[in-house]
Amino acid sequence: MRHTISVLVENKFGVLSRISGLFSGRGYNIESLSVGETIDPQISTMTIVTTGDDWIIEQITKQLNKLVDVIKVIDMTELDHVEREMVLIKVAPRQEDKAEVLRLAEIFRGRIVDSSQKTYTIEITGDEKKIAAIVELLRPMGIKEFVRTGKIAIAREGVKKA
């Protein structure tokens, strides 16, 4: 099963390689990894998407926790949470498809962030399903380049009834 794991780490050099080295050294998968500073510049969040059965995920969480620079490990998959990823898609549509590309971008609440005679670059933010959907729809139009940030995730707060 796929898990999204959020890891709070000390913002020091070498931490990323400790984490990636743990995954490669023990043969775990990383599907995506995104890193960024938190509000406290001494701490970074790494959001790791990985797959494995319960045994493997348990080991991954424990092994991450064992690293000296890791402050906290949260398996988001176990919580109610929001996931987002951003992609930039450069499309080179045929003349007759151009309008359809713009229409799709609008439907998916994307933004055109660059355009040229032959291409549009669309910025899309969303969860996995949404991104997969637009990619499938744009693919026949001719995707020239495609980059993604990797997933980030945050836990939802419970809302008390009034």
Which CB, 10 or 100, lies closer to other proteins?
Answer: 10
- Per-residue contact string for residues 23-52; x = within reach of other proteins by CB under 8 A: --x---------------------------
In 3D space, the residue among 102, 99, 104 whose CA is nearest the CA of residue 133 turns out to be 104
Tell the residue number behind the tokens 């970074």, with chain if given: 44
Q: Which of 1, 37, 51, 62 binds other proteins (CB under 8 A)?
A: 62
The only residue of 34, 35, 69, 98 in contact with other proteins, by rule CB under 8 A = 69
Using CB under 8 A, pick the residue from 9, 57, 105, 153 that binds other proteins.
9
Q: Contact, 119 vs 144, CB < 8 A?
A: yes
> If residue 19 lies in a helix (H) or strand (E), which one and from where to where?
helix 15-25
User: Counting runs of H as helices and runs of E as strands, what totals does the chain give?
Assistant: 4, 9
- Selected binder of other proteins within 36, 38, 59, 155 (CB under 8 A): 59
CB atoms within 10 A of CB 66: 10
Q: In the complex with other proteins, which residue's Cβ is closer, 51 or 59? A: 59
Q: Name the packing angle between helices 98-107 and 128-142 (round to 10°).
A: 180
Q: Where are the alpha helices (DSSP H) in 51-122?
A: 54-66, 98-107
When binding is defined by CB under 8 A, the residue of 1, 2, 17, 145 that contacts other proteins is: 17
Asked if 140 touches other proteins (CB under 8 A), the answer is no
Q: Catalog residues that contact other proteins under the rule CB under 8 A.
A: 9-10, 14, 17-18, 21, 25, 55, 58-59, 62-63, 65-66, 68-71
